[in-house]
Amino acid sequence: MATQLREPDRLSPADLVREDAVHRSVYTDPAIFDLEMERIFGRAWLYLGHRSEFKEAGDYVVRHMGKQAVILTLGKDGDVHAIFNRCTHRGATLCAFDKGSAPHGHQCPYHGWMFNADGSVRFVPYDKGYGERLDKGEMGIEQVRIEEYRGFLFGNLMGDAAPPLEHFLGHMKTSIDDLVDRSPTGELECGPYVLRHYYRANWKMTFENLNDTVHPGFAHAASVVSAKAVANEVGGPENIVPTIGMMMANGKPIQFFQDIDMVTAPGGHSYIGGHMGADYTPDTSDAYTASLIDYHGAEKAKEVLSVDRHLMLLYPSSFWHARYQTLRIMRPVRHDLTEMIGFVFRLNGAPEETYRNAIEYCTGANSAASPVISDDLEIYERCLLGNGFGEREWIPTSRGMDEDRERTNSHDRMPATSEGFIRNQFRAWADYMGQA
């Protein structure tokens, strides 16, 4: 059996990524995973939260940047600050919960040190015991650089050395615009419903799966049959809930996906054309369209409703679906363990059905109980197991290499059946990993 590459200081991405293939160790080697946490998740802009999650000063959420947990807190200055979830005294975790309110600061449960939203030291019990050996100014928690785009907050561990967020987003800003512009007030509200699941495989498996249009008819064949049976029993597709519609969409022939577009952009990002086909009830559709016209005007409203994209992948940490107001965070835990976290957004001012449909979609797309997700998770785990042995070390990524439809400075266009998005991800992977 081939040996794994375990010398990260001497690792060359050229040893692992070819134009049309990748070495299996990128999924199976813990040393490569550790280097990814440093060189990819330590450099890329990572989605952390939304402005609407913070109502009052002291409101906070805890998110992860690679292996590191950070606390985002709304300060009294009106800014959202991000600091590491670690007391500078003895290293204890400050916040044990995913969200909460700390209007008087974050207090360490070990010795009671308290920190402000910006990480500065607020209070040290019995500080005179340290004499002149304690400099509170030097004991503050380091802040993480954050930037905001249309209410969405991103963090970067490189601090001032990081490029601007908008440079990182590039063409993919249009997908975030698509989500925000669907609100008849221009405002979104992050809902309280959060769906989580784990799978026992590498984080990159999700990125390679969610824009893959060839696998659904095979991996999800059983759920397609079940969904069609349910649709027949309730009197046709017009009577089904969005989850059933999502399951049925996986049964479309490969030629359908060959005919729609995939778009890739520098940095490993991509999306494909929409194919879900779920509509609102006539009353909701009319009311929603009218509200968009009131806010945007007829021409802009028509433009907003004409955009149809399925799952924008913002490499390396998040997945966005504007049509269903959902956002998922991918959190790598180990080389063989990954957490997925799903959020639903309300379009403020839109009919309630738009929110209910979004909740249904997120449940079907990010619940461990989903018959679609369970298929994917088993496949991920099978891939990890299968790539752990045998003599075949290289995994082909060559589908669609000669089928590009358009190349521009900001993005490329190709058939949605292409593996071009995977090749694009590994170009970004090699670029990040090749920087010492």
Instruction: Provide the residue count of the chain.
Output: 436
Distance CA 344, CA 354 (A): 11
Q: What is the pLDDT of residue 228?
A: 84
Distance CA 373, CA 123 (A): 47
The answer to whether the CB of 402 falls within 8 A of the CB of 418 is no
Best CA proximity match to 190, nearest among 330, 351, 61: 61
- Please tell me the pTM assigned to this model: 0.93
Q: What is the pLDDT of residue 233?
A: 83
Distance CA 192, CA 63 (A): 15
Distance CA 47, CA 34 (A): 20
Query: Tokens in use for 379?
Result: 């496949």
Q: pLDDT tens string for the chain (436 positions)?
A: 344 544 444 557 778 999 999 999 999 999 999 999 999 999 999 999 999 999 999 999 999 999 999 999 999 999 999 999 999 999 999 999 999 999 999 999 999 999 999 999 999 999 989 988 999 999 999 999 999 999 999 999 999 999 999 999 999 999 999 999 999 999 999 999 899 999 999 999 999 999 999 999 999 988 888 888 888 887 765 666 777 777 888 888 899 999 999 999 999 999 999 876 557 888 999 999 999 999 999 999 999 999 999 999 999 999 999 999 999 999 999 999 999 999 999 999 999 999 999 998 888 888 888 888 999 999 999 999 999 999 999 999 999 999 999 999 899 999 999 999 999 999 999 999 998 7
The answer to whether the CB of 231 falls within 8 A of the CB of 244 is yes
Q: Cis omega before residue 316 (within 30°)?
A: yes
Q: What is the pLDDT of residue 11?
A: 53
Q: What is the pLDDT of residue 2?
A: 45
Give the model confidence (pLDDT) of 26-73 as tens digits.
999 999 999 999 999 999 999 999 999 999 999 999 999 999 999 999
Give residue 103's identity as a one-letter amino acid code: P
Cα 374 → chain centroid? 19
* Structure-token match 């042995």, residue found: 389
Distance CA 10, CA 322 (A): 41
Distance CA 182, CA 337 (A): 35
Q: What is the pLDDT of residue 232?
A: 80
DSSP bridge partners of 353 = none
Judging by DSSP bridges, how do beta strands 326-334 and 152-156 pair with one another? unpaired
Q: What is the pLDDT of residue 364?
A: 83
Cα 124 → chain centroid? 38
Judging by DSSP bridges, how do beta strands 99-101 and 106-107 pair with one another? unpaired
Distance CA 144, CA 159 (A): 7
Q: What burial class does residue 148 get, using C-beta atoms within 10 Å of its C-beta: 0-12 exposed, 13-18 middle, 19+ buried? A: middle
Best CA proximity match to 347, nearest among 325, 320, 321, 319: 325
Give the model confidence (pLDDT) of 267-298 as tens digits.
999 999 987 655 788 899 999 999 999 999 99
Q: What distances in angstroms separate CA 314 from CA 45, 288, 311, 376, one per listed residue?
A: 9, 28, 9, 20
Which alpha helices (H) appear in 297-388, and where do they start and end?
298-306, 352-366, 371-386
Query: Tokens in use for 38?
Result: 């440093």
Residues with Cβ within 8 Å of residue 314, at least 6 apart in sequence: 47, 169, 172, 269, 320
